[in-house]
Amino acid sequence: MSKITVALEAAVAAVSANTPSEGTAQTRRQRAEVDRAFARILKLIAPRIRHFIRQYGLVGHWDDAEQCCAIAVHRAIQAYEPEKAQFTTFVNWQIRGELQSLRFRLMTDQRPSARKVEATTVSLDAIAGGEDGEGLSILAAIADEEALGRTEAGASDYLAHSAMSALTDSYVEHMRNSGLDRIRRRAQPRKLTRAERAAGAVSPRHAVLDTGEISELEQRLQHNRQVVEGRLFETAALDHGDDETARERMRQVAKRAAKTMGDLAVADPRFALMAEYREAMVAAH
């Protein structure tokens, strides 16, 4: 790991060490240690924050973007699990998500549909008049305080299932192409012997694919898909009964599929996040 990665892990560990368990009051010294470690983290990742702000085209809203990044770092520290990935990988996606959200909020009013209805984005921190005439923030008027958490969890689950489905489709298509290539090679017309040519035999111009082999390939691909969905991603039921041989065969299929999909994730930009997570896990072990 790089020096910055090591320093970040140490600073995050310091925050965790000085964060008491729920129901326990935090001491003044612990708060000071947390503030010091948090400032250290922001200083270490300041270059990448500046890079992301420019990348998302938010230079004109620099203060808001920096505040969003600070919120992202805070959330990343709270949700970080060292055994799953390095903090550098985890915090990058938190920052990206906050900046993407900020950019969406800023650009919403510029859409033709928004201009047509004269829509205006209003900050949740804006003050509105309450029934008693006192100022009331829009955020405070939201009745369901858990709605945001449920929405984020639902969006996360949807994206995860979509990614798993797309990766499974990519794996099946890769295996189908490989299987068809093998069938085509076996179906290539053999060269005629001298005796056959002398007898006037004519070699076929095109390979004739065996429909039985193609059907068998599709059945095998369907079985592999079920194994991947049931054993790797747990998105479908997998019935293997009490047959130990069948269970071992499925385990081998899942093992080979996991390696193949890992290679596909590295090569396909759609699965860049999965590939980055895989590399982080390999480095951690």
- Domain spans in the chain, listed from the N-terminal domain onward: 3-109, 151-188+208-284
CA torsion angle for 246, 248, 254, 255 (degrees, to 10)? -160
Q: Which residues of the chain have pLDDT under 70?
A: 1, 108-145, 189-192, 196-197, 200-208, 238-242, 271-285
In the prediction, which pLDDT does 66 show? 92
Cβ-defined contacts of 274-277 (< 8 Å, 24+): 274/163, 274/167, 276/89, 277/85, 277/89
* Cα(149)–Cα(29) distance, integer angstroms: 31
In the prediction, which pLDDT does 47 show? 92
For helices 28-44 and 3-17, give the axis angle rounded to 10 degrees.
160
**Max Cα-Cα span within the chain:** 107
* Cα(111)–Cα(132) distance, integer angstroms: 36
Q: Where are the alpha helices (DSSP H) in the chain?
A: 3-17, 28-44, 46-55, 62-79, 87-107, 112-116, 147-186, 194-198, 211-227, 244-267, 272-284
pTM over 0.75: no
In the prediction, which pLDDT does 253 show? 87
In the prediction, which pLDDT does 39 show? 92
pLDDT in tens, 164-183: 888 888 888 989 999 888 88
Burial 188-205 (b: 16+ CB within 10 A, else e): eeeeeeeeeeeeeeeeee
